């Protein structure tokens, strides 16, 4: 168990090492939400399957009631985390590879604003 925790910590450090400043702070916060969600369900994040990541997305939408843009951003962090795990040979493949994201469309609002649809 301790060895598993060390591997998860190393994977998290490797992932967060790619970011600096406020981007790192926000990315760490989003990843912490996913890791806490896994811990509350007794799920080892490195043993998660695609359906577990999809359950996380549904939880963000249905329980936490986040907007689609927030769900998409948080899922992007999880996808990036698993991508680094594959690159570093911690995992053979990413369980987040084929998880569908909420649709987001650019709107005619000020730059940086994105409008998303909760339909998957």
* CATH at residue 104: 1.10.150.130
- CA pair distance 102, 59, nearest whole angstrom: 13
* Per-residue pLDDT tens listing for the chain (120 residues): 566 889 999 999 999 999 999 999 999 999 999 999 999 999 999 999 999 999 999 999 999 999 999 999 999 999 999 999 999 999 999 999 999 887 766 555 555 555 565 554
User: Which of helix, strand or coil describes residue 80?
Assistant: helix
**Total number of domains constituting the chain:** 1
Query: What is the domain range of residue 22?
Result: 2-117
Specify the pLDDT at position 100.
Answer: 87
User: How many whole angstroms separate alpha carbon 3 and alpha carbon 63?
Assistant: 32
Q: Quick one: pLDDT at residue 2?
A: 63
* Alpha-carbon gap, residue 88 to 72, rounded angstroms: 24
């Amino acid at each position: 168990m301790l060895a598993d925790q060390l591997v998860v910590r190393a994977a998290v450090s490797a992932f967060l090492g790619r970011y600096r400043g406020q981007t790192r702070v926000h990315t760490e916060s989003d990843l912490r939400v996913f890791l806490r969600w896994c811990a509350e369900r007794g799920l080892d994040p490195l043993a998660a399957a695609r359906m577990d990541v999809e359950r996380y997305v549904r939880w963000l939408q249905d329980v936490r009631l986040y907007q689609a843009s927030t769900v998409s951003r948080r899922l992007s962090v999880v996808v990036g985390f698993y991508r680094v795990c594959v690159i570093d040979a911690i995992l053979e493949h990413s369980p987040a590879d084929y998880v569908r994201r909420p649709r987001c469309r650019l709107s005619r609002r000020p730059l940086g604003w994105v409008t998303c649809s909760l339909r998957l």
